[in-house]
C-alpha cells in the first residue's frame, strides 16, 4: 500500500510505502468498518482514544448475551417445530372441512333444502388456509 500526502496548498507531496503496516491497517479498517484512509489519518493526527476497559467489558457482556440467546433458541426450537406441525395439520383439516361443506351444500341442493351460509365457519377456514 502506498500512502500519498498532499498539502492543501502548493505542490509538495510525500509518498510513503507502508509495506507490512498495510496488512495491519486493512485489518483495523475491516474491524471498525471505516476506510483505510481514515485509519491512517487518525494515526497521523493522533485523534484516537485509549480504551478504558469499557470495550472489553462490553465484548464480554455481548458474549454472555449471545450465549443466553442460543440457550433460549435451543429451548424454543422444538416448540416452533411443533407449532409448525400443528399449523400444517390445521391447514389440512381446513381443506377437508371446506370439501365437506361443499358436499353438504350439493346434497342440500339435490334435496331442495335451503343452503347453509356459515360465514363464521368460512372465515375460520380462510384463516387457517392463509397461515
- What is the residue extent of each domain of the chain? 2-45, 55-130
Strand partners, 17: 2
End-to-end CA distance of the chain, in Å?
55
Those residues whose C-beta lies under 8 Å from the C-beta of residue 122, and which sit 6 or more positions away, are 101
123 vs 44, 87, 89, 100, 117, CA distance in Å? 69, 16, 17, 15, 11
- Cell numbers linked to 34: 471505516
Cα-to-chain-centroid distance, residue 30: 21
**How confident is the prediction along the chain (131 residues), in pLDDT tens digits per residue?**
776 777 777 777 777 777 777 888 888 888 888 888 787 777 777 766 666 677 788 889 999 999 999 999 999 999 999 999 999 999 999 999 999 999 999 999 999 999 988 899 999 999 999 97
Q: Residue 71 class from Cβ within 10 Å (0-12 exposed, 13-18 middle, 19+ buried)?
A: exposed
DSSP 33-83: T--HHHHHHHHHHT------SHHHHHHHHHHHHHHHHHHHHHHHHHHHHHH
Amino acid at each position: 500500500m502506498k500512502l500519498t500526502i498532499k498539502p492543501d496548498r502548493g505542490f509538495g507531496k510525500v509518498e510513503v510505502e507502508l509495506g507490512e503496516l498495510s496488512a495491519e491497517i486493512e485489518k483495523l479498517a475491516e474491524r471498525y468498518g471505516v476506510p483505510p484512509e481514515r485509519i491512517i489519518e487518525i494515526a497521523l493526527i493522533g485523534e484516537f482514544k485509549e480504551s478504558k476497559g469499557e470495550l472489553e467489558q462490553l465484548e464480554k457482556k455481548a458474549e454472555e448475551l449471545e450465549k443466553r440467546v442460543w440457550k433460549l433458541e435451543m429451548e424454543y426450537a422444538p416448540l416452533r417445530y411443533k407449532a409448525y406441525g400443528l399449523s400444517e395439520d390445521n391447514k389440512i383439516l381446513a381443506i377437508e372441512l371446506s370439501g365437506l361443506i361443499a358436499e353438504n351444500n350439493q346434497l342440500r341442493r339435490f334435496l331442495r333444502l335451503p343452503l347453509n351460509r356459515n360465514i363464521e365457519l368460512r372465515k375460520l377456514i380462510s384463516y387457517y388456509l392463509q397461515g
